[in-house]
Amino acid sequence: MQKLLHNLNPEQLAAVTLPAQSALILAGAGSGKTRVLTTRIAWLIQTGQISPQNVLAVTFTNKSAKEMLTRLSAMLPINTRGMWIGTFHGLCNRLLRAHHKDAGLPQTFQILDSQDQLSFIKRLLKANNIDDEKFPPRTVMYFINGSKDKGLRAAAVDAFDDFDRRMVALYDLYDAQCQREGVVDFAELLLRTYELLSRNQPLREHYQSRFKHLLVDEFQDTNDLQYKWLKLMAGSQAAVFAVGDDDQSIYAFRGANVGNMSAFEREFQVKNLIKLEQNYRSHGHILDTANALIEHNTKRLGKNLRTDAGHGELVRISESTSDIQEAQWITEEAKNLMREGSAGSEIAILYRSNAQSRVLEHALFSAGLPYRVYGGQRYFERAEIKHAIAYMQLMDNPHNDSAFLRVVNFPTRGIGARSLEHLQDSARQYNISLYAAVPYVSGKAGTSLANFVKLIEGARFETQNLPLPEMVQVVLDISKLLAHYQNEKEGADRIENLEQLVNAATVFVSEEGFGHSAPALTGPASQAAAGFLSLPGGIDIIDADAALPLVMSPLSAFLSHASLEAGDNQAQAGQDALQLMTVHAAKGLEFDAVFITGLEEGLFPHENSAKEESGVEEERRLMYVAITRARKRLYISFSQTRMLHGQIRYNTRSRFFDEMPEESLKWLSPKVQPNWYGNKKSAWDEASTAGANVIASQMAVTHAGSGWRIGQGVVHAKFGEGVIVNIEGSSNNARAHINFGQFGMKLLDLSIAKLDKI
């Protein structure tokens, strides 16, 4: 026991050894929350309060779940396989596999990742002759997922106008089509599980009695339905150990509700609130900057990070006249860091918008510095892998029309658009899948389609008793995918990726404990071995605590794994190159040196934040996350002008600079001086008009007769200082778009507005 607890600080120790009551752990950035979570589980098991099968731990990424299992294996001599530790989606998938009949799903239901879901919706719109300009597929997808995240089926969604009514109708069509094809999207996994447990009392009570301790990581990122799901699983008896940081809640655009933390504290009558404020990552000046910034948010539970690592270096602030100059400065600084011995993988360049990366990439490429951009396609999202997976999906569930359409003519086998139109007409006529409709198509098209069906059936026959890795190899050969890419000019990388799929399958069966073939879950003896339980009322269910081999075939499990991995939002580190990414992608990561770029009003904080309730507070939390990624050195930069989306932007610096402690900052340009408004202001601000006017004279239009120019600095009695970014009309009819920083963009009539030139 002493070995288990000896390295914990007092707050961590208090959290780990709490009594069996619900608790809220406010875990600051770099405060060791994963350690607290895993040690809490180990302590509960080692003290005999629970067995490994009585733990339910929820994380937000597959990477975090694997890390927790690895740490637990090192702490205790237990077999972690089969423990309920995973993501919301992963755990719901596991429960639905065990209870697919009660959930109204086929045993071989398949999961649509985000790409597949979008393709599915495009196909749905086309099949129903719906204008995709009036109803963009991505908008429809967001509407459906947003409704599901709130726990609402189509019939329960309020529709206030014709557009909403059409969207609700599309949601209804979408649900029906998913049910016919035997597929579910990510949001459906959670909603279907919630509905199953809500209506099935014996099943709900079974899991509530089993899971006496629920532990939740990143609690601030839960959405409304996830919180409802947790409350349902907890019932009235379970102790919920919620770990989160309201200051790092940055996913409101995905439906995350930071208010769930306050609701949890109230609804679960939390008596134990522990703050983990000891930071083991960053030096003092970095933490002081983060603390001072986040204090300006009013809706927070409140904590203050501290460190024993000393103050460290000051936070460096750089001002540039353009984004090109900013990128060149970052490149030179990165070179210096690498000359001093820093690894490229320990240097991160963060930006608010992906559009900022182009200039940065150009500068790094020109300087010969290796770099890697996060947010690119993950392994299971690559086209060649999606093709191979689609063949396997058809072997497992032939009614998946999305998989059918992806590979029916890839590699090409003479099945054109007209043939598919005839097939789709037959499928609609008989309300069956495309695969089942093939016999209804005659002529040459029918023959070609029948040959494709024979190919799938042949692959299923040849692989029925093979181990999963050999099954994957047979699919690659029979599908002719390898042969196809051998004839492509740049097919070597794709072939290498496809061959890696066999290795991925080998690792998967090893980690999940699959044998050479799937267990046959039939007959009383098989049911007993698989963990079937008899509940009150004569209801027999399979207990989903068993490892995957007891509830899924190796192929079904691997296909689910591929979809869930493709939907994982956690980036993977490791390559020895400079790391470029959005601030959102950086969450959960840490680096020795961090550059935060583009600290300008309208960019960071983003201009959209002014339109949303608490929008600026979310942007401030995002900046807090960015700052706390840095261990030793932090650089923050902004520029006078920036080319974004094909237009020159003339910027004022971010309000966040005024919220940082001056004693922790080192301005690499002239020092900050108070201006005549009493606000902090750098020498760049004093010279901004001159610099902007030079650029404007070269690149922008001078509006004759109006007396104003794009790039002109102005002062307004109410809005303060601003920069003219565009002018409409001329002479007495001229109107100007002016960026007033904290007050955002304003459109003013120049003949009326009382503006002074700077």
Read off the tokens for 290.
């983060």
Please, how many CA atoms are within 13 Å of residue 71, restricted to the half-sphere of its CB? 19
Tell me the CA distances in angstroms from 652 to 195, 587, 713, one per residue in order: 50, 27, 10
Residue 704 has phi, psi (to 5 degrees) of -60, 135
Tell me the CA distances in angstroms from 419 to 125, 408, 435, one per residue in order: 20, 11, 13
Read off the tokens for 432.
């069956």
| 3-class DSSP string for 304-320 | CCECCCCCCCCEEEEEE
Instruction: Give the residue from 356, 359, 393, 389 showing the smallest Cα distance to 375.
Output: 356
Rounded to whole angstroms, the Cα distance separating 88 from 216 reads 10
Rounded to whole angstroms, the Cα distance separating 364 from 540 reads 62
Q: Name the residue with tokens 């290498």.
A: 496
The answer to whether 12 touches 35, Cβ cutoff 8 Å, is yes
Rounded to whole angstroms, the Cα distance separating 240 from 205 reads 17
Read off the tokens for 301.
């539970």
Rounded to whole angstroms, the Cα distance separating 484 from 166 reads 42
Read off the tokens for 611.
């339109």
Rounded to whole angstroms, the Cα distance separating 49 from 158 reads 46
Please tell me whether residue 511 adopts helix, strand or coil conformation.
Answer: helix
Cα 617-620-625 angle, rounded to 5 deg = 130
Read off the tokens for 472.
């994957």
The answer to whether 65 touches 85, Cβ cutoff 8 Å, is yes
**Burial bucket for residue 310 (CB in 10 Å: 0-12, 13-18, 19+):** exposed
Tell me the CA distances in angstroms from 275 to 14, 460, 732, 752, one per residue in order: 10, 55, 60, 54
Instruction: Give the residue from 59, 52, 57, 108 showing the smallest Cα distance to 82.
Output: 52
Q: What is the DSSP string of 109-163?
A: -EEE-HHHHHHHHHHHHHHTT--TTTS-HHHHHHHHHHHHHTT--GGGS---SHH
Peptide bond into 106 cis (omega under 30): no
Read off the tokens for 382.
């690559």
> How many residues are there in the chain?
758
Instruction: Give the residue from 572, 758, 668, 683 showing the smallest Cα distance to 333.
Output: 668
Active site residues: 33-34, 217-218, 248, 629
The answer to whether 87 touches 98, Cβ cutoff 8 Å, is no
Tell me which H or E stretch contains 97: helix 88-98
* Maximum C-alpha span of the chain: 92
Read off the tokens for 233.
């699983």
Read off the tokens for 213.
């301790």
Q: What is the DSSP string of 1-16?
A: -HHHHTT--HHHHHHH
